[in-house]
Structure 1
Amino acid sequence: MTPALKMLKGKPHRTLEYAHDPRAPAYGEEAAQALGLEPARVFKTLVCQLEGGNIRQSLVVAVVPVTGTLNLKALARAAGARKAALAAHDAAERATGYVVGGISPLGQKKRLPLWVDDSAMTLEEIFISGGRRGLEIGLSPALLCQLANGRFAPLARED
């Protein structure tokens, strides 16, 4: 049981598993296809580095649909920073306790500030990584934000 699943004990959610292909180029899209999920409901977890502005924490987490890409300027604006960039893989893994491709916004080793793309607010259920490759969790966006002290903001742009 991953730390993310431990956080959800007794809370409404569902767990879905699939056989992860190590050759898959994109983890979120692989999950959507393997599980037969609508890609706009599958969200990827991205650890980012902030610089400048009114920030208290330099590493943060952004959760956006796999159908789009993270708008780094929008994340910086939402977080009150001057600039945002994707964090190095080793920094993301150290801070969260998860491996890249299996980073969950829940149950991280070091609780990082969380922003969720506001498109999630229109959905009853979204899917996020369960803390390892091949494990997805379905839950309400409101529950995700409640458990991780997250905030909604317009973060994604469609590919």
Structure 2
Amino acid sequence: MGASKTNAMRILDNKHIKYDMMSYDVHDGQIDGVTVASKIGKAPETVFKTLVTHSGPQQLYVFVIPVDTELDLKKAAKAAGAKKIEMLAVKDLQKYTGYIRGGCSPIGMKKQYPTFIDESATNLCEIIVSGGKIGTQIVLKPSEFLVAAQAEPRALIK
């Protein structure tokens, strides 16, 4: 298993943060968050997707929200202290984060961007986020996620 560890997992290991890894079948091409939650047998409100946004050309922000919800861009901008934010183009995702769509973990990006998680996560016993590659999810406590991702909880969804 050592060789298949992702950058996100290595960071968690280095910080001595306990996590579980879950895998799911990707051969059907269904990698949207709600389908992933179903594939791993978890409630959608416990499985979080990673969204990368920008405010201007150089300022990126990361938002982590339940897979069955939609990011409220006004709330996101307020959380980030930005006038306006927009979604980062999928074609730019790997360049800035080191990850691809469907395998973008909020932990272990190329740079540490300001990261926010929907406040609903703080009411859960565990949350699930991308492990850093398609087909891999990480399960961990919300409090430990906040440490690992250097994230702040905020109201982010519509």
TM norm. shorter chain > 0.5: yes
- Aligned partners of 2:37 and 2:7: how far apart in 1? 22
Amino acid aligned to 2:77: A
Q: Give the alignment's TM-score, normalised by structure 2.
A: 0.90
Q: Counterpart of 1:29?
A: 34
Q: Counterpart of 1:18?
A: 24
Whether the 8 Å CA contact 1:31–1:136 is kept in 2: the answer is no
Unpaired runs of 5+ residues, structure 1, are 52-56
Unpaired runs of 5+ residues, structure 2, are none
- Aligned partners of 2:94 and 2:136: how far apart in 1? 17
- Aligned partners of 1:63 and 1:136: how far apart in 2? 14
After TM superposition, list the pairs within 5 Å mapping 1:67-146 onto structure 2.
67-146=68-147
Task: Show CA shifts across 1:119-149 (max 9, x none).
Answer: 0010010000000111000011111111221
Task: Show CA shifts across 1:58-77 (max 9, x none).
Answer: 11100000121000110001
Q: Counterpart of 2:50?
A: 45
Whether the 8 Å CA contact 2:33–2:68 is kept in 1: the answer is no
Deviation (angstroms), 1:22: 5.2
How many residues align? The count is 151
Deviation (angstroms), 1:84: 1.1
Task: Show CA shifts across 1:86-115 (max 9, x none).
Answer: 101122211110111100000111111100
Identity of aligned residues (%): 37
**Could you say what secondary structure the match of 2:29 adopts?**
coil
Q: Which moved more, 1:82-91 or 1:62-71?
A: 82-91
**Could you say what secondary structure the match of 1:31 adopts?**
helix
Whether the 8 Å CA contact 1:96–1:111 is kept in 2: the answer is no
**Could you say what secondary structure the match of 2:103 adopts?**
coil
Whether the 8 Å CA contact 1:60–1:114 is kept in 2: the answer is yes
Whether the 8 Å CA contact 1:129–1:137 is kept in 2: the answer is yes
Deviation (angstroms), 1:38: 0.7
**Could you say what secondary structure the match of 1:77 adopts?**
helix
Q: Give the alignment's TM-score, normalised by structure 1.
A: 0.90
